[in-house]
Amino acid sequence: MCLALPAKIISIDATTDRAIVAVGDVKKEISLALVEGAKVHDFVLIHVGYALNKISQQEAERTLEIFAEAGLSGEKPA
């Protein structure tokens, strides 16, 4: 099973087409090569080090809530 996680872009290095994203308190460097027009504060779905596409903040938050409810996030749902 493949799983893509929603993450918020917190910084972008335009020269390398890479970004630092955050999923909760976890930060990770990813490639933006597959997504055009991504900006800081956008939400993207990430999988194996790549952003796959942009998503809305509402969609990202709802997906993370579902993961928490299913026990997949390590966090307890509110």
Classify residue 76: in a domain, yes or no. no
**Which structural domain range is residue 21 located in?**
5-69
In eight-state DSSP terms, residue 69 is: H
Instruction: Give mean pLDDT, residues 54-66.
Output: 93
- From first CA to last CA, the distance across the chain in angstroms is 27
Classify residue 60: in a domain, yes or no. yes
Phi, psi of 68 (to 5 degrees): -65, -45
Distance CA 16, CA 4 (A): 22
pLDDT in tens, 36-49: 999 999 999 999 99
Phi, psi of 54 (to 5 degrees): -85, 150
CATH (domain of 56)? 2.30.30.140
Classify residue 61: in a domain, yes or no. yes
pTM of whole model > 0.75?
yes
Classify residue 75: in a domain, yes or no. no
Contact 68, 77 (CB under 8 A): yes
Classify residue 78: in a domain, yes or no. no
Q: If pLDDT is split at 50, 70 and 90, which confidence band does 67 have?
A: confident
Classify residue 37: in a domain, yes or no. yes
